[in-house]
Structure 1
Amino acid sequence: MAADKPHGPTAPRATGRPGDASPFALGLLLRRAHWRAAAAATEALRPLGIELRHFAVLLVLVDHGPTPQRDLVTATGSDKAGIMRVVDDLEQRGLAVRKTVPGDRRVRAVEITPQGLELFDAAHVAAQSLTERLVAELTPEEADQLKHLLTRVAYPTDDQT
């Protein structure tokens, strides 16, 4: 019966403002922090001529070595067409190459080039001061604690991925 249902919300409504007590507060804060971090990374990468999507692929290639294009889709959370465009961009700039996988001519693995590795390292240098600005309001201990807590949220111990 409609009369038995409570009128109005049972929990605070989301506002997206500091101090929000809604069930969405943590997600909204994480999203806002992500926007700030992505903006800082974008600013750091712009002079190098790449975008976050390019850096994400380079990161996988540095971390995992030559990687089949289809696996880059999963590793970066992108889609097949998007990965193809990113790998095309990286190849055109000489930062990565596609190679046939021995035993399966249909599969192409993407491999970072020495120039790609050089740019990847330069991105880290460029991002240092911008990253420091992100946590400028925190003490070094608080910044370490934030990183530790976010790692636990992003990679729960029971997560099998």
Structure 2
Amino acid sequence: MEAQPAEPSTFGMLLYRAHRLARAHANDAARPTGIELQHAGVLSAVRAGGIHSQRELGAALGVDKSTLVRIVDDLERRNLVRRERSAADRRAYEIVITEEGERRLAEADELFAEAMTGLLEVFDDADRRRLHDLLSRFVAQES
């Protein structure tokens, strides 16, 4: 029997459902650390360096200003980041990851990886590589 072509109208919903499934599993797995994927995205971007202001951070992550402020406020309350006046622009603040933020992010990253490994068990190694390649090409359109 010949394979039927994939219906383009179903891709959006499948990607949305895959995102919800992966996010829920990752967040559940990392719950003991108090880090969710939205927190990890901010912490990882700050840890990677090169981003100095909250504005740059929002642009790099594609997060609107009010959402980013809420996330950074939450991380700051939990002593995972701190805001420091920028040496280059005294009107701006830099977001700096704390030692506690580094430690908890490392723990969460391990738990996120375990959660994704579990979800991806439905695929063999070749399928996982292919899925990764396809998704990488798909999101590269964003650039």
TM-score of Structure 1 vs Structure 2, range by shorter chain: 0.7 to 0.9
Residue 11 of structure 2, aligned match among 26, 30, 41? 26
TM-score (norm 1): 0.78
Task: State which of 118, 121, 124 in structure 2 corresponds to 1:139.
Answer: 124
> Which of residues 120, 127, 135 is equivalent to 2:112?
127
**Whole-angstrom CA distance in 1 between matches of 2:56 and 2:75:** 16
CA contact (8 A) 2:46 2:97 kept: yes
**8 Å Cα contact 1:65-1:111 kept in structure 2:** no
User: Which ranges of structure 2 fall in alignment gaps of 5 or more residues?
Assistant: none
SS at match of 1:110: strand
Q: What percentage of residue pairs aligned between the two structures are identical?
A: 36
Rounded to whole Å, the distance in 2 between the matches of 1:118 and 1:24 is 43
1:36 positional shift: 1.0
Residues 64-73 or 19-28, more deviating: 19-28
Determine the C-alpha separation between the residues in 1 that align with 2:116 and 2:110: 10
Q: How far did 1:39 drift?
A: 0.8
Which whole-Å CA distance do the structure 2 matches of 1:133 and 1:110 have between them?
33
Q: TM-score, normalised by structure 2?
A: 0.86
User: Could you tell me how far apart the structure 2 residues matched to 1:20 and 1:77 are?
Assistant: 33
Distance in 2 (CA, whole Å) between partners of 1:145 and 1:23 is: 19
Structure with larger RCO (C-alpha < 8 A, sep 6+)? 2
3-state secondary structure, aligned to 1:111: strand
Letter in 2 for 1:106: R
How many residue pairs align between the two structures? 140
Please state whether the residue corresponding to 2:85 is helix, strand or coil. strand
Structure having the higher helix fraction is 2
Q: Report if the CA contact (8 A) 2:84-2:95 is conserved.
A: yes
Tell me if structure 2 keeps the 8 A contact 1:66–1:111.
no
1:86 and 2:71 matched: yes
Aligned to 2:24: 39
Match of 2:98 in 1: 113
Q: What SS class does the counterpart of residue 99 from structure 1 fall into?
A: strand
Change (3 A) 1:66 1:154: closer
Please, which runs of 5 or more residues in structure 1 have no aligned partner?
1-18
Q: CA RMSD in A?
A: 2.0
Q: Distance in 2 between matches of 1:46 and 1:20?
A: 40
Equivalent in the alignment of 1:4: none
Distance 2:105 2:35 in 1: 10
